[in-house]
């Protein structure tokens, strides 16, 4: 036996599976075999497009191109970073934040890319965090129950429709007078209270939406850069250098030492989270008191990543006497000279999430005399081989804005949500209470209006008890039987009256014919008897009379007896 399925039913059966498949395809994370990841942003590197708390939905792509916003695993930060691709070279991707003026030091390969930006949801974290509140959970449960009940009711209606059964009847419940009065009093008292709550909720909502959700405050983040110099060299063993080695801090005799090996160690420190990289180089600058100078590059710039860097260079100090003699002979000026070994450090990175760009160039000065070089001592007991500098950057910190009234403090975001919910709740309460008052106040007029408008459709019921509904006329019974598609059955009741009716869902609908008029009881017939013949003496004896007390009786005395 074959069964035909309509296209509409087939679509209805396939629609849930199609929606589930589409949802899995677009929203399933990789843990479930999908291609979609969810990233919450933090920091200011992608402003003004992205802010802290935004949700970025990224999807894996077959190919990535320059200009695309992509999330990738950063090994240095050990977290996922969402930046824009600015270059692709040698299978590596170069990223840069829109609000940064430097390229990320980490250059990931394709296997470390999470996915390209697919959808941006601003302030998603603030809204999703509210779902953890008990109120939000209660609302979600209530909505789920409403949808479940709605679905059950819809399925029942469809089943009744398929089975040809009429919708269930509504039973009207008679409310006691005391409860009716209580409802009237409660509704009358609720209207002003709901109006007051509505006014307060509207005021709170207006104040909350005129205030910013977040406030910004500038904070200083300090950091320290330090550098340590040392030098060494080789010479012929003798009185000046017994072991043939020049140690850091000793005078450099130009006739004995030819090459001066200079070493510089750079260190960066801060209490904040740091991610830096940069370049470091060494230069030697020979200058005179009159302003003449010449710079020699000891090393080329060398890249480094992290908080420390070390660089080493060699300067040929053996040629200084000939160079200075030639200079004085040319200029005919005898002057004092200084040789300063200067580092050239350039760093970039993030300091507690804020962009950082800094330089460091505190050098080691050496005084050039006739035959030697001597380290210049700083003021007091300062060590010329060690230098440091402290600086700070200003960071704009975002914090939730609050409103304080008489010691009560709440965030603007909370007030906005509470104000909207309070407005909706108080407005609904006001409408319900007002509708109850208006409905109960118009109840009498409502009854007459219903009867006037729906008179032909109204079926008068004599009584409704024990599952039997007695109708007042046969036409009403016929209309109901036609609606419920039931045959009308006929019978004779115990009282001899004709009964017409039918049964549906356990309820019996009956119309009884009026009883016949009662027949009057027949009058008892009067039976006349023949008069009894009595003599005068018998008559007097029955009456207890004497002949002297009465007049003579008639000839014949008749006595009648009732039948």
User: Which helix H or strand E contains 117, and what residues bound it?
Assistant: strand 113-121
Q: What is the pTM for the complete model shown?
A: 0.43
Dist. CA 146–CA 300, nearest whole Å: 73
> Is 416 found in the same domain as 390?
no
- CATH of residue 348's domain is 2.60.40
Q: Mark which of 122, 145, 164 sits at the end of a domain.
A: 122
Ramachandran bin of 244, using left for φ above 0, alpha for ψ from -120 to 50, beta for the remaining angles: left
Contact between 52 and 65 (Cβ < 8 Å): no
Residues 283 and 390 reside in one and the same domain: yes
Could you tell me if 278 and 344 lie in one domain? Answer: yes
Tokens standing for 347?
A: 């760093």
Asked if 290 contacts 271 with a C-beta cutoff of 8 angstroms, the reply is: no
Look at the chain and report how many structural domains it folds into: 4
Mean pLDDT by 10 residues, the chain (563 residues): 50 64 66 73 83 86 89 84 90 89 86 88 71 53 53 55 53 56 76 88 85 77 94 89 89 88 95 90 91 90 93 89 85 86 92 87 88 73 84 77 79 82 87 77 59 66 67 81 84 80 82 76 62 67 60 50 42
Determine the 3-state secondary structure of 217 from DSSP: strand
Side by side, the strands of the sheet bearing 461-465 are 461-465, 468-471, 507-512, 498-504, 489-492
Are residues 431 and 395 part of one domain?
Answer: no
Q: Tell the burial category of 256 from Cβ atoms under 10 Å away from its Cβ (0-12, 13-18, 19+).
A: buried
Domain membership of residue 171 (yes or no) is no
Shared domain check, 394 and 261: yes
Do 470 and 505 have their domain in common?
yes
Residues 406 and 433 in one domain: yes
Q: Which of 496, 512, 528 is the last residue of a domain?
A: 512
Do 360 and 501 reside in the same domain of the chain?
A: no
Contacts of 458 (CB under 8 A, 6+ apart): 450, 451
Distance CA 310, CA 68 (A): 36
Residue 367 has what DSSP assignment?
E
Is residue 130 included in any domain, yes or no? no
> CA gyration radius for the chain?
55
Of 399, 414, 441, the position where a domain reaches its end is 399
Residue 413 DSSP SS3: helix
| pLDDT of 171 | 45
CA triplet 371, 376, 382: central angle to 5 degrees? 155
Q: How far apart are CA 205 and CA 381, in angstroms?
A: 65
**CATH code of the domain containing 497:** 3.30.720
Residue 373 domain-assigned (yes or no): yes
Q: Are residues 297 and 279 in the same domain?
A: yes
Same domain, 435 and 379: no
Which pLDDT does position 3 carry in this prediction?
43
Cα 69 from Cα 335, distance rounded (Å): 60
Please name the residues in contact with 359: beta carbons below 8 A apart, sequence gap of 6 or more. 344, 345, 346, 347
The CATH number covering residue 100 comes to: 2.10.109.10
- Residues 263, 278, single domain; the answer is yes
For residues 55 and 121, what is the distance between their CA atoms, to the nearest angstrom?
5
| 375 and 412 both lie in a single domain | no
Structural domain includes residue 492: yes
Pull the structure tokens for residue 158.
């469809």
What pLDDT is recorded for position 173?
47
What's the pLDDT score for residue 212? 81
Q: Has residue 57 been placed in a domain?
A: yes
For residue 62, the enclosing domain spans 35-122
Asked if residue 42 belongs to a domain, the reply is yes
Residue 229 lies in a domain: yes
Residue at 531 is within a domain: no
Distance CA 11, CA 28 (A): 24
Partners of residue 386 on adjacent β-strands: 228
């Amino acid at each position: 036996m074959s069964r035909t399925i309509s296209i509409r039913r087939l679509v209805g059966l396939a629609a849930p599976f199609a929606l589930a498949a589409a949802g899995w395809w677009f929203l399933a994370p990789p843990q479930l075999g999908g291609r979609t990841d969810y990233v919450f942003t933090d920091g200011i590197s992608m402003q003004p497009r992205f802010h802290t708390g935004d949700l970025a939905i990224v999807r894996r792509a077959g190919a990535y191109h320059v200009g695309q916003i992509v999330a990738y695993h950063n090994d240095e930060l050990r977290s996922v970073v969402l930046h824009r691709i600015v270059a692709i070279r040698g299978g590596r991707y170069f990223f840069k934040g829109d609000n940064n003026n430097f390229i990320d030091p980490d250059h990931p390969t394709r296997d470390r890319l999470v996915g390209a930006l697919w959808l941006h949801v601003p302030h998603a974290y603030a809204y999703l965090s509210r779902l953890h509140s008990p109120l939000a959970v209660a609302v979600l449960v209530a909505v789920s129950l409403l949808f479940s009940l709605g679905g059950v009711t819809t399925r029942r209606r469809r089943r009744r429709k398929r089975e040809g059964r009429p919708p269930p009847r509504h039973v009207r419940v008679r409310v006691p007078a005391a409860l009716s009065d209580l409802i009237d009093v409660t509704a009358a008292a609720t209207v002003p209270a709901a109006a007051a709550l509505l006014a307060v909720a509207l005021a709170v909502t207006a104040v909350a939406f005129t205030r910013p959700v977040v406030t910004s405050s500038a904070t200083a983040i300090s950091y320290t850069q330090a550098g340590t110099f040392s030098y060494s060299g080789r010479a012929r063993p003798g009185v000046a250098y017994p072991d043939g080695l020049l140690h850091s801090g000793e005078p450099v005799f130009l006739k004995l030492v030819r090459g001066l090996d200079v070493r510089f160690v750079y260190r960066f420190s801060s209490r904040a989270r740091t991610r830096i990289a940069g370049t470091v180089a060494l230069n030697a600058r020979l200058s005179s008191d009159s302003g003449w100078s010449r710079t020699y590059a000891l090393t080329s710039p060398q890249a480094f990543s992290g908080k420390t860097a070390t660089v080493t260079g060699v300067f040929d100090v053996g040629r200084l006497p000939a160079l200075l003699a030639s200079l004085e002979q040319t200029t005919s000026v005898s002057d004092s000279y200084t040789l300063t070994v200067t580092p050239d450090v350039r760093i970039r990175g993030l300091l507690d999430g804020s962009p950082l760009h800094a330089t460091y160039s505190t050098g080691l000065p050496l005084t050039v005399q006739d035959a030697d070089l001597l380290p210049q001592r700083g003021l007091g007991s300062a060590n010329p081989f060690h230098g440091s500098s402290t600086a700070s950057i200003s960071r704009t910190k975002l914090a939730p804005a609050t409103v304080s009234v008489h010691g009560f403090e709440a965030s603007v975001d909370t007030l906005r949500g509470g104000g909207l919910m309070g407005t909706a709740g108080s407005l609904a309460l006001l409408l319900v209470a007002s509708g109850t008052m208006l409905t109960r106040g118009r109840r009498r007029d409502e009854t007459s209006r219903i009867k006037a408008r729906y008179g032909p459709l109204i079926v008068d019921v004599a009584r409704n008890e024990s599952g039997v509904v007695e109708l007042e006329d046969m036409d009403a019974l016929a209309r109901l039987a036609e609606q419920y598609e039931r045959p009308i059955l006929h019978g004779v009741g115990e009282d001899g009256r004709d009964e017409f009716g039918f049964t549906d869902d356990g309820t019996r609908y009956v119309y009884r014919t009026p009883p016949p008029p009662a027949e009057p009881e027949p009058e008892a017939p009067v039976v006349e008897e023949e008069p009894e013949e009595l003599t005068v003496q018998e008559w007097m004896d029955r009456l207890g009379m004497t002949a002297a007390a009465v007049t003579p009786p008639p000839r014949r005395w008749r006595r009648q007896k009732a039948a």
